[in-house]
Chain A
Amino acid sequence: MNARALVVAAFAVPLLGGGAPSASPSAETAWVHVRLEEPAKQSRLRLNLPLPAVEAALKAAPDSIAVEGGTPITREIDLDRLRRRWKELETTGNAEIVSFEEGEARESISKMWGRLLIHLQDDRESKTIDVAVPEALVDALFSGAGQELNIRAAVAYLRTMRGDVLRVHDRGLALHVWIDGSADAPEGK
């Protein structure tokens, strides 16, 4: 199977668990759905997992992840600065947090319609990546200090959330992670 696709999924999955006690599954069990598609490579991955299983499997994950030397999304802003900008925008609506252009590369982070949107574009490499993360999940991730993302808090939030967790669109790749109360996710969701 496609290693790159699996790597992207692996980066997404740590958002879904780690360190928290699992609840016993019941009729109310939340289900984590992952869809990763690369049409050009005829590659498709679908995962439907009970949230307690994901939490349990990721207990080995750290409670927090340090992001040193600037955020991977843009080298121009470190995590602490991004967190402060995000908090400043708490009461405002849509706004651009940071944008960066260099040659044919454009990167921006904005708050839009209750989501943190990350846009990376590099015309030289014909590459465009769009990432959307719900505002409350970003709040949880940013509840740590310094250069750390609070994974434990994000997982705690996921237990109560329903809906989109993450959407990533690259030119040849689409990743969608969401949580709902059903084991069966509609085809093509």
Chain B
Amino acid sequence: MRRRVGAVLASISVALGAVVAVTGVMVVDVTKADGTRVVVPVPLLLAQAAARFVPPTAAAEVERQVARVRRYLPAAEEALAAMADSPDCELASVDQGDEHLRVHKVGESLNIRVDNPREKAELNVPFDLAQRALREARDGRVSPPDLVRMLRHSRLTRLVDFHHNGGDHVRIKIW
């Protein structure tokens, strides 16, 4: 009997693990200014469910912003596709005093870096993710859960790396 219960529990754990592995995990890694490190793995499935509870006002704001630019989305999709097909390169660089912005095409992603005396931020946006987001936005299907769901297509990506000078260092990876 005990062996059967053990087998059932083990199979449930394996099944849950498999679901999480298939649907992806977002790992939020925060290093506080005092050196304290907190690593929180969040299954994307759970994050997607949690996103359903985003206040309607926030969801409406997302929809309002998308509606404003909807007619430009097909052009943006096409522009992204052209950039995705180009070789790796620096696409944009803006310097103003000690503030710097760099946008590179690196492999399958757009790498965006912002650097100023107060903070350093790095964002990696897979073209596939951006194109899916634009496509769904064009079709009027963008909502917070949809946005989280799309992260499933960004596996093995260091999505965000944000370092506030003298403060917290936040990294978000998708596994």
Contacts and interface: CB of A to CB of B under 8 A. Distances in A.
A86 B57 CA distance: 57
Contacts, number: 77
Interface in B66-108: 71-72, 74-76, 78-83, 85-87, 89-97, 99, 101
Interface string A42-60: 1111111110111011111
A46 B72 contact: no
A136 interface: no
A188 to B, nearest CB: 13
Nearest to A2: B96
A184 B89 contact: yes
Of the candidates A22, A29, A43, A56, the one having the most CB atoms from chain B within 10 angstroms of its own CB is: A56
B78 A45 contact: no
Contacts of B91: 47-49
A50 B96 contact: no
Interface string A119-145: 000000000000000000000000000
Nearest to B90: A48
A183 B76 CA distance: 20
A56 B79 contact: yes
Size band of the interface chain A makes with B: 20 to 34
A59 B78 contact: yes
A49 B72 CA distance: 18
Contacts of B85: 24-25, 50
Interface residues of B, number: 25
Contacts of A84: none
A47 B94 CA distance: 9
Given A47-B91, A57-B76, A1 B96 contact: yes
B89 A43 contact: no
Nearest to A23: B82
Nearest to A183: B89
Given A42-B97, A43-B95, A44-B95, A50 B76 contact: no
A52 B75 contact: no
Contact of B93 (A41, A46, A53): A46
Contact of B83 (A2, A43, A53, A59): A53
Nearest to A25: B85
Interface string A1-35: 11000000000000000000010110001000000
Of the candidates B72, B78, B80, the one having the most CB atoms from chain A within 10 angstroms of its own CB is: B78
B65 to A, nearest CB: 17
Contact of A60 (B71, B82, B83, B86): B71
Contacts of A24: 82, 85
A43 B80 CA distance: 27
A183 B83 CA distance: 11
Q: Which 3 A-B pairs have the closest CB atoms?
A: A56-B78, A53-B82, A183-B89
Interface of B: 71-72, 74-76, 78-83, 85-87, 89-97, 99, 101
Given A25-B85, A183-B87, 4 more contacts: A25-B82, A50-B86, A53-B79, A60-B71
Interface of A: 1-2, 22, 24-25, 29, 41-50, 52-54, 56-60, 183-184
